Amino acid sequence: MPRRPGSFAARVSAWQRRHGRRDLPWQGTRDPYRIWVSEIMLQQTQVATVIPYFGRFMARFPDIEALARAPEEEVMRHWSGLGYYARARNLHRGAQEVVARHGGRFPATAAEVEALPGIGRSTAAAILAFSTGARLAILDGNVKRVLARHFGVEGAVDSASVLRELWTLAESLLPARGIETYTQGLMDLGATVCARSRPDCAACPVRDTCVALRDGRVAELPGRRPARAARVREVAMLVVVSGGEVLLEKRPGSGIWGGLWSLPEAPPGLDPVAHAAKALGVRAAAAEALPPFRHAFTHFTLAVTPWLLRTGRKAARAREPSGSTWLALGEVRSAALPAPVKRLLASLADRGA
């Protein structure tokens, strides 16, 4: 579709100045640290969910040095419930690298920013665009959707060839000035107008030149790979309670809920009492079945069968004793626990288990 040079960026920027978001807690600053934290939290997470977490996180870790000095467990506790916990670990490690390699000053070049853990090309560009005005293109999920629809880009947006095409397109559209307004405008447009489902095309500032709208293909674009059948992984969780405390295990750093405290697990179908005695050194007379629940991850669903075991003797695991701890049930709401585990234990605390 023919377009006037700069007209796309000009319309997006003008729309952002009139209708865009300007009162988010991480806006109105050039502080790269605050922008960095917000960009990481916003990955695969909605703004409304992020806002309260961002406030609490910044209150506890107001600068890079504070985050770098903090114990990982405390960082994870302030992230608990936000999901995708590798983001928190990468943010923590990144702060430590900034202090160690850059003297606590956030790096100023795209290559240096991308070298930090958990930061890719688009996130680095967003941080630098908002903090320094660097003329760099972003390409997050919302922007991919806007560009694919407006310019009629065919194919799955996560394929290598389409990504190359979208990056080339994104860079060609950059305005000569006002990169911050344009970048925020793209984000706002994708999040509030050009939504994945039920987009508000009538409110779109670039609707007059949108290929998808012209051709009646808004629902088809952007293209996606064929959906894979959802996998279900079954697991039993052992809720070992003694004297108002519950036994927890530290999960490995990699994998789901990495670095968080969680409940000991067992293969489904095993006798929970026998497994607790053998694997945990815990003796319980019987196990009470609790309501099962499911928790969806990006690529699979975890089907959990919890068992409540009451014991009169606290016993740490025979192996890796440093990886276990007892936590008072009354403290579970402030602990670094996965959200579904926290809900389960909070319900037990409420009923006086």
Interval 214-258: pLDDT, tens: 999 999 999 988 777 779 999 999 999 998 899 999 988 778 888
pLDDT at residue 314, as a whole number: 53
- 176 falls within a domain: yes
CATH number, position 312: 3.90.79.10
Q: What is the pTM of this model?
A: 0.83
Asked if residue 118 is part of any domain, the answer here is yes
86-102 vs 32-41: helix crossing angle, rounded to 10: 160
- The domain that holds 150 is classified in CATH as 1.10.340.30
For residue 78, give the H/E element and its range. helix 72-79
User: Residues 148, 102: one domain?
Assistant: yes
Query: In 3D, which of 268, 282, 280 has the Cα closest to residue 324?
Result: 280
| Number of neighbouring beta carbons within 10 Å of residue 35 | 21
**Does residue 250 belong to any structural domain of this protein?**
yes
Summarize pLDDT for 275-301 with one digit per residue, the tens: 999 998 888 988 999 999 999 988 899
DSSP string, 197-258: SS--GGG-TTGGG-HHHHTT-TTT-SB-PPPPPPEEEEEEEEEEEETTEEEEEEPPSSSTTT
Of the residues 214, 243, 276, the one at which a domain ends: 214
Domain endpoint, select from 184, 214, 244: 214
Domain of residue 59 covers 7-214
Q: Are residues 239 and 209 in the same domain?
A: no
Q: Is 39 a catalytic residue?
A: yes
Catalytic residue among 39, 165, 180, 249: 39
Q: Are residues 247 and 345 in the same domain?
A: yes
Type of residue numbered 190: G
DSSP track, 192-213? IIS-SSS--GGG-TTGGG-HHH
Instruction: Judge contact between 150 and 221, C-beta under 8 A.
Output: no
Span 133-149, pLDDT tens digits: 999 999 999 999 999 99
CA–CA separation, 311 vs 49, rounded Å? Answer: 38
Residue 286: alpha-carbon gap to chain centroid:
39
Alpha-carbon distance of 81 to 30, in angstroms, equals: 28
Structural domains of the chain, count: 2
At residue 229, the pLDDT reads: 75
Domain identity same for 307 and 343: yes
- Are 143 and 35 in the same domain? yes
Same domain, residue pair 67 and 139: yes
| Residues 240, 109 share a domain | no
Q: Given this model, what pLDDT does residue 316 score?
A: 41
For residues 148 and 175, state if they share a domain.
Answer: yes
Q: Assess whether 237 and 209 both reside in one domain.
A: no
156: how many CB neighbours lie within 10 A of its CB?
15
Q: What is the pLDDT of residue 321?
A: 45
Flag whether 346 is in a domain. Answer: yes
248 and 190, same domain (yes or no): no
Residue 140, in any domain of the structure = yes
Q: With respect to residue 221, please indicate whether it lies within any of the assigned structural domains.
A: no
Do 326 and 281 sit in the same domain of this protein?
yes
SS3 state at 247: strand
Whether residue 146 sits in one domain with residue 287:
no
Residue 3, pLDDT score: 47
Q: In whole angstroms, how far apart are CA 198 and each of 149, 228, 326?
A: 14, 24, 48
Residue 225 lies in a domain: no
- State which residues of the chain have pLDDT below 70: 1-6, 313-322, 353
Residue 165 lies in a domain: yes
- Tell me, what's the pLDDT at 107? 97
